[in-house]
Amino acid sequence: MSITSYNPADPADLVVAVEAPGAEAVRAAVGRARAAQAGWLAAGAGARSAALGRIAEAVEAHAEELAALIVREVGKPLAEARGEVARTAAIWRYYAQAPYEPSGAVHETAAGPGLLLTRRRPYGVAGLIAPWNFPLAIPSWKAAPALAVGNTAVLKPAPEATACALRLAELTALASLPEDVFTVLPGGAEEGVALVEAADVVSFTGSTGVGRAVVRAATGRGVPVQAELGGLNAALVLPDADVELAAGHIAAAIAGYAGQKCTATSRVIAVGAAYAPLREALVKALATVDDSVCGPVVNEAARERMTGAVSSAVEAGASVLVGGRVPERAGWYVEPTLLADVPDQHPLAREEFFGPVAVLHAAADLDEAIALANDTPHSLATSVHTRSLDAALAAADRLDAGMIRVNAPSSGVDFHLPFGGTKGASHGEREQGRAALEFYTVSRTVSVLPGGGL
Ligand code: NAD
């Protein structure tokens, strides 16, 4: 079987085709990574820090080429692709400092002389499984902290993002990362399953169904696992909000990169008198979104899923406020779409569709809006739009989401802070920031008592 990826804006353009390596090759790569791990750890904080810093430089030196590859392989608009490349370099640079961070603490003994120490140590080989939608940033925010603390890593990218991942591997080699410290092995489900069966610690990002299977397999082996899964993210707009500003943020979170972000907004909840002006402002904002913001969805199946869901919602009584059509052009484009009156139990109101489509709800007050927002098992990011500090504080207290963003799109990420959702949206330790350093290490307690010679 071969692994292929095609340009979503021009499906005749084959970006890459490679032979699927198979499960045995995954086990062999993990074996080589395990053999390399002791040397990588023993090289010391200075060597690891310098290597990660060189990767940041290599990414920066190839920024335009990488951005163009992201555009071509996964259809991300150029401005966002450039932003992702800049963030990728920043992630490597941020974690280049991590090897110098304290790795534990010193405690007093309960009685008598001696030293009690905690010390965080790497697990060995990190198995990293990534989705296609952030083809450089997600592999990097998994690999950089894993490597910083002395693990080696094997990455299995999504098939749709194979060329980007292979290019990242080339850049790490260009940055003189020692052999087998970071391996990229293209593949699909078979290689993913094999990696989960072989790695010492597993980090997965992708869809909820696959993620649950990965968590079961890793925990069945007693291996630590984190999983960042799909979201069904809401935007709450209060009557006191600056409606134009809110509509701009929300339109960007619905349509930016064709809604293909786990933090994209797919439910808009207008409180009381905000409903009518917000509906008007959102329709206007979404109608003017162009390719420089939205772009195509990743493949034909994704487009069919979106258009099928919109038609079935309309059959069930929903009305299309804007969009809803498939543009007549090459590429997997879907118009940014907003619907109202979608029945509560319709899949469009309950499941992640991963496209530029959102549902508008009305809520009588903040309490009802929060209850609506929390009524999902996939709470990753919720945005709240208000000028009232009290309302913002109440929302921050009571929204059951991993990330609460006041007067900002739901779809922003700060790589130096922990990232993840609640309930079904996440499993295990958070990604990014210092939380990632904890995830890729285990604490050892060391007791040092006098040997009796003094
Ligand atoms: P996906 O679940 O189809 O694939 C993710 C990865 O898992 C790919 O590398 C795939 O090849 C691999 N895989 C497939 N079957 C496997 C198996 N049985 N065992 C192990 N690995 C397997 O997801 P996708 O379509 O690539 O990405 C889109 C999804 O990712 C969306 O649901 C989106 O919300 C989610 N996502 C979440 C976050 C987050 O941080 N929460 C970030 C980005 C994307």
The answer to whether 13 and 72 are in contact (CB under 8 A) is yes
From 303, 378, 383, 299, select the one nearest 337 (Cα to Cα).
Answer: 303
How far does the centroid of ligand 1 lie from the alpha carbon of residue 112, in Å?
53
The answer to whether 73 and 163 are in contact (CB under 8 A) is yes
Beta-carbon-side half-sphere exposure of residue 66 (alpha carbons within 13 Å): 29
Burial of 113 (0-12, 13-18, 19+ CB in 10 A): exposed
Mean of pLDDT values over 40-58: 98
Among all chains, which residue has been given the structure tokens 């069945």?
Answer: 220
Check the CA dihedral 315-321-327-332 and report its sign.
negative
pLDDT per residue as tens digits for the range 201-219: 999 999 999 999 999 999 9
Rounded to 5 degrees, what are φ and ψ at 222? Answer: 75, 30
Q: Quote the CA–CA distance of 201 and 218 in Å, as a whole number.
A: 8
pLDDT grade, residue 454 (50/70/90)?
A: low
Query: Which residue has the least CA distance to atom 40 on ligand 1?
Result: 228
Q: Is the CB of 79 inside a 6 Å radius of any atom of ligand 1?
A: no
Q: Does 115 have pLDDT greater than 90?
A: yes
Q: Does 7 have pLDDT greater than 90?
A: yes
Q: Is the CB of 133 inside a 6 Å radius of any atom of ligand 1?
A: yes
* 2-229+425-448 against 233-406: fold identical: no
Rounded to 5 degrees, what are φ and ψ at 344? Answer: -50, -40
pLDDT per residue as tens digits for the range 66-108: 999 999 999 999 999 999 999 999 999 999 999 999 999 999 9
pLDDT per residue as tens digits for the range 401-452: 999 999 999 998 899 999 999 998 999 999 999 999 999 999 999 999 999 8
Give the residue numbers marked as catalytic.
Answer: 228, 262
pLDDT per residue as tens digits for the range 282-328: 999 999 999 999 999 999 999 999 999 999 999 999 999 999 999 99
Q: Is the CB of 139 inside a 6 Å radius of any atom of ligand 1?
A: no
Query: Which residue has the least CA distance to atom 34 on ligand 1?
Result: 230
Check the CA dihedral 252-257-263-267 and report its sign.
positive
pLDDT grade, residue 381 (50/70/90)?
A: very high
Q: Is the CB of 210 inside a 6 Å radius of any atom of ligand 1?
A: yes
Query: Which residue has the least CA distance to atom 30 on ligand 1?
Result: 206
How far does the centroid of ligand 1 lie from the alpha carbon of residue 230, in Å?
9
pLDDT per residue as tens digits for the range 152-172: 999 999 999 999 999 999 999
Q: Is the CB of 301 inside a 6 Å radius of any atom of ligand 1?
A: no
For residue 418, the model assigns a pLDDT of: 92
Query: Which residue has the least CA distance to atom 16 on ligand 1?
Result: 189
- Which residue among 141, 155, 210 has the greatest number of ligand 1 atoms within 8 angstroms of its CB, and so is best to mutate? 210
From 339, 330, 231, select the one nearest 282 (Cα to Cα).
Answer: 339
Q: Does 397 have pLDDT greater than 80?
A: yes
How far does the centroid of ligand 1 lie from the alpha carbon of residue 142, in Å?
14
Q: Quote the CA–CA distance of 250 and 247 in Å, as a whole number.
A: 5
Percent of the chain with pLDDT over 90: 96
Q: Is the CB of 205 inside a 6 Å radius of any atom of ligand 1?
A: yes
Atom in ligand 1 nearest the alpha carbon of residue 132: 26
Q: Quote the CA–CA distance of 39 and 391 in Å, as a whole number.
A: 53
For residue 140, the model assigns a pLDDT of: 98
Does domain 233-406 bear CATH number 3.40.50.720? no
Q: What is the residue extent of each domain of the chain?
A: 2-229+425-448, 233-406
pLDDT per residue as tens digits for the range 339-357: 999 999 999 999 999 999 9
Helices (runs of H) and strands (runs of E) counted in the chain: 15, 20
State the chain's mean pLDDT as an integer: 96
Count of residues in the chain: 454
Q: Is the CB of 417 inside a 6 Å radius of any atom of ligand 1?
A: no
Query: Which residue has the least CA distance to atom 39 on ligand 1?
Result: 228
pLDDT per residue as tens digits for the range 356-369: 999 999 999 999 99
Q: Is the CB of 129 inside a 6 Å radius of any atom of ligand 1?
A: yes
How far does the centroid of ligand 1 lie from the alpha carbon of residue 212, in Å?
11
- Alpha helices (H) in 291-339, listed in sequence order: 300-315
CA–CA distances in Å: residue 134 to residues 140, 161, 202, 224, 326: 10, 9, 18, 23, 25
Query: Which residue has the least CA distance to atom 38 on ligand 1?
Result: 262
pLDDT per residue as tens digits for the range 235-257: 999 999 999 999 999 999 999 99
How far does the centroid of ligand 1 lie from the alpha carbon of residue 130, in Å?
6
- Which residue among 184, 257, 262 has the greatest number of ligand 1 atoms within 8 angstroms of its CB, and so is best to mutate? 262
Q: Does 194 have pLDDT greater than 90?
A: yes
Q: Quote the CA–CA distance of 278 and 242 in Å, as a whole number.
A: 10
For residue 412, the model assigns a pLDDT of: 87
How far does the centroid of ligand 1 lie from the alpha carbon of residue 206, in Å?
2
For residue 377, the model assigns a pLDDT of: 86
The answer to whether 286 and 336 are in contact (CB under 8 A) is yes
Does domain 2-229+425-448 bear CATH number 3.40.50.10490? no
Q: Is the pTM of this model over 0.95?
A: yes
pLDDT grade, residue 376 (50/70/90)?
A: very high
Partners of 105 in the β-ladder: 118
How far does the centroid of ligand 1 lie from the alpha carbon of residue 227, in Å?
9
Query: Which residue has the least CA distance to atom 17 on ligand 1?
Result: 189
How far does the centroid of ligand 1 lie from the alpha carbon of residue 207, in Å?
4
Q: Is the CB of 200 inside a 6 Å radius of any atom of ligand 1?
A: no
Burial of 117 (0-12, 13-18, 19+ CB in 10 A): middle
Alpha carbon distance, N-terminus to C-terminus of the chain: 68
From 430, 399, 406, select the one nearest 416 (Cα to Cα).
Answer: 430
